[in-house]
Amino acid sequence: MTEDDVRAHLDALAKPRRSLGRLEDIAVSLALTQHRLDPRTRPRRIVLFAGDHGCVADGVSAWPSAVTGMMVATILAGRATSSALAATHGCDLRLVDVGVASARPVAPPPFFRDARVADGTVSLAHDAAMTAAQFDAAWRVGVEEAQAAVADGAALLIAGEMGIGNTTPAAALTTLLTGLSPVEAVGAGAGADAAIVVTKACVVTAAVARATPLLGHDDRAAIASVAGYEIAAMAGFFAEGAARGATLLLDGYVATAAALVAAHLAPGSERAMIAGHLSVEPGHGAALAQLGLTPMLDWGMRLGEGSGALVALPLVDAAAALLADVARLDAIGAERAD
């Protein structure tokens, strides 16, 4: 099925041709990701992957790493932004610890999985963030989560993240995989001031300089050296979800950095992706362009947790309804006038 096929179907519906604008573009993307003119958006699942980053100790964040553990507890209590939005939109939620540095939760609810590879990454300011073997272990966690979600019937998947400092590895990956400069890729993240942004740019510059010579002959090691455990897991989640025919609804900068990794290591994964929104992080647009994706929303969001994708989810539902539930002109006996 081609884009022309989907456009022809939309043009045959009981409405003026192209009268729903961007919603029809979303409908085309959705139909093409599932290879059907009656795509499904339910059941759907968001998997939040959590991990900490050693570079926080080098001054790249306005928040301490301990906040990652605090937010994990908030998600487990069902009181985080992602919790509220997922519940509002009927989206099943799971939380997976891939590399948190805080103490493990006691008696967590069933939607939590402890798959911790390590207690946070090594600081990419000084050395490789993780080994290739650790990257592979985190990737496998994401693969397993995608397999489980599809086995449970999920047609649409969202990956979210929780990890203080993770816009730094996201910027490093964007620089490494798109050629964007570190200064262009680095932003304020979760409220960093100008001095912190300068520190982040210096850290990203040094990390990418160490990783670049590896790219082309040991890509996994290059990517592992600047990644995070939650990012590696999201990349595996995207690659496996795409391979199993699910639609992947992308969140913001960190999730899109993981999507870049998936597309690099599992080429073609990007064809299953729809971009939920454009983050205020300056490198996000370049990352989406590399993937060939146009974001649905540009609302100045930068929270993470899959929140932007969850906000965009009703638009994807609307696109699916347009394709599946609107009558054709010939079915109602009308002829096109436009």
**Which residue, chain included where needed, has tokens 């995608």?**
146
How far is Cα 171 from Cα 182, in angstroms, rounded to an integer? 7
Quick one: which of 62, 98, 57, 4 has its CA closest to 191? Answer: 62
Report the alpha-carbon distance of residue 63 to residue 71 in Å, rounded: 12
H-helix or E-strand spanning residue 159: strand 156-162
Measured N-to-C along each axis, helices 307-325 and 3-11 cross at an angle, to the nearest 10 degrees, of 60
Element at 116 (helix H, strand E): none
| 111 vs 108: CA distance, rounded Å | 8
How far from 38 is each of 26, 326, 327, CA to CA, in Å? 13, 11, 13
Residue 182 CA to residue 179 CA, distance in Å, equals 9
Catalytic residue numbers read 305
Cβ-proximal residues to 125 (8 Å cutoff; 6+ apart), any chain: 54, 55, 58, 60, 203, 206, 207
Asked if residue 43 has a cis previous peptide bond (ω within 30° of 0), the answer is yes
Tokens 């590879």 identify what position?
117
- Give the pair of three-digit tokens for residue 196: 């912190």
